[in-house]
Structure 1
Amino acid sequence: MHRYSLRSSVQVPLPKMDTLSLDLDSALARRTSFHQSTVQQTPSVRHIWIITGPAGCGKSSVAAYLAKSLDLPYIEGDDYHPPENVKKMSAGIPLNDEDRWGWLDTLRQKASEELESGALGCVVTCSALKRRYRDFIRQVGQAEVGIVVRFVYLRADVELLIQRVKARKNHFMKDDMVRSQFVALEEPDSSEPDVVSVDVSGTLTEVQHNALIEVQARMLE
C-alpha cells in the first residue's frame, strides 16, 4: 500500500522508511569516503630539497631531473645572484660571507613563496659550502610546521670538477674558482642528519638516478 504527500495536490508515492534509511547511509558513506581520500591526498610534510656542492658537481642537472621526476618547482640558485656577485665571480674573486647572506636569504624566501602558493615542495640549487649557510637555510623548516628542509650534497674530487668547469661555455664561474670553493667547503658529516651525500664520479644519468633513489627514500621516512 502506498502513502501519499499531504502537501501536493498530485498524489506522489513516498518511499518507504527503510528505503530512506538505506539512501541516507549510502550518501553518508560516499561523503566519508570522499573526505578520507581528500585527507590522504594532502601531504602532512612538504620538502624543500637543497642541492649542494662546489661548482661543476652537477647541481643544476641533478636538481632539474629531481624536480621533473617529483613534479616539483625548481629554483636555480645562480639566477638570483645579485650583479655584484656575478661580477666578482666572473673576475675570479671568491665571494665572502657578506656577499652570500643576501643571496641565501633570497633563495630561502623563494622556496617559502613556492610552498605558500600551494606547491607540495620544491628543489633549489645552492652551493651551501659552509655549515652556517646550511643552518641559515634550515630556519625555513624551523619556522613553519610541516616543512622539512633536506640537503643533497654532490660529493666530488676537486680535479674532476676543475675539468668539468673548464669545459663549460658562457658561464660566469671559472675553473680557478673551484679550488677556492674547496678551500671554503665544510663537508657535511654525521652531525647533519638531514644531508644525504651522492657521489658524482659516475655518469650524469647514474648520478641523477642515485640522487632520486636517495630523495625518494627520505620522503618515506
Structure 2
Amino acid sequence: MLSYDSAMPNGQDQAAAAPLPSASVKPVAATAAGAVVANSQTQPHQQHHLWLVTGPAGCGKTTVAEHLANALDIPYIEGDLYHPQSNIDKMSSGIPLTDADRWDWLTELRNQANSRIHDGAEGVVVACSALKLKYRDVIRVAAYWDRSLIIHFIFLHAPAELLLKRVTARKGHYMGANMVKSQFDILERPREDEIDVITVDASRDVDEVKEDALEKVKAMLAAEE
C-alpha cells in the first residue's frame, strides 16, 4: 500500500505530485449541484467542467465517456492510454495494480485534463476507473489550481457477474477477465458525502445507459446556471 507519509514514488518531488487526498482537501467546497470548486488565480466568472466516467472494468466507461464528449462537444481523454508500459504489462499478466502503480497515472490524467482546460476547452471528459476514494481525491485536487474548474464523477455500477461476461467477450484489450474480481475487491463505492458523484446503473442496454448519463449531466449543468 502506498503510504502518504512516505517519500513520493518514482522520484516525484512534492511540487509535481498530487497533494494528499481526503484528509487534506477539506478547504475545497462542494456545490449543491455536486461540484468541487477551489481558489486559484484564474478568472472565476467562466466555469469549466471536468467529467470523470468511473467504475470497474466492463462497466462501459469508454462508451459513455465518448458519448458525453460528443454530445457536449468537449475533449475526451481515454485513461487507459496513459498507463505506463509497466502497468500494462502487469495487467496483461493478470497482476492487479497497487496504489503506487496508479499514483503517477492519476496525476498524469489530472495534468492532461488541466492542460485541455488551459488550452481553451470549456470542459473535458475522462474515462478512468477511480476505484478508491483516495484516487478520486487525486483528481479533485485539480480544483485547487483553477478556481473556475468544477469536478464531477459519473460512477457506472453493475453486478460483478455481468461485468465479467462483458470483459470475457471483449477482444484486443489488455484487461483480462480475471482482473474484474481484483477491481471489485478494492472498489470503494462513492460515499454519501461525495456529493460530486452521479451514479448510473450500467447493467441496462448500452443506449439507455448513455442517455441516462447524458440526461443527468444536462440536469446538473442546468442546475448550476
CA displacement 1:95-152 (0-9 Å, x = unmatched): 0000000000110000000001000000001000000000110011132111011100
Which runs of structure 2 are paired with 1:1-221 in the superposition (5 Å)? 44-220=46-222, 221=224
Secondary structure of the residue aligned to 1:152 is: strand
Mapped to 2, the partners of 1:43 and 1:144 lie a distance apart of: 12
Mapped to 1, the partners of 2:45 and 2:66 lie a distance apart of: 22
Measured on the aligned residues, the alpha-carbon RMSD in Å equals 1.1
Which has more helix, going by share of residues?
Answer: 1
1:60 Cα shift? 0.2
Question: Which has more radius of gyration?
Answer: 1
- Could you tell me which runs of 5 or more consecutive residues in structure 1 were left unpaired when the two chains were aligned: 1-41
**What is the TM-score when the length of structure 2 is the normalising length?**
0.79
Mapped to 2, the partners of 1:219 and 1:155 lie a distance apart of: 22
Identity %: 51
User: Which deviates more, 102-111 or 136-145?
Assistant: 136-145
Retained in 2: the 8 A contact 1:67–1:74?
A: yes
Structure with the larger RCO, 1 or 2 (CA within 8 Å, 6+ apart): 2
Mapped to 2, the partners of 1:109 and 1:44 lie a distance apart of: 20
Retained in 2: the 8 A contact 1:43–1:120?
A: no
1:219 Cα shift? 1.2
Mapped to 2, the partners of 1:76 and 1:43 lie a distance apart of: 29
Divergent runs of 4+, >3 A: none
**What is the TM-score when the length of structure 1 is the normalising length?**
0.80
Equivalent in the alignment of 1:39? none
CA displacement 1:150-190 (0-9 Å, x = unmatched): 10000110000000000000100011100000011000021
Number of residue pairs the alignment of both structures matches: 180
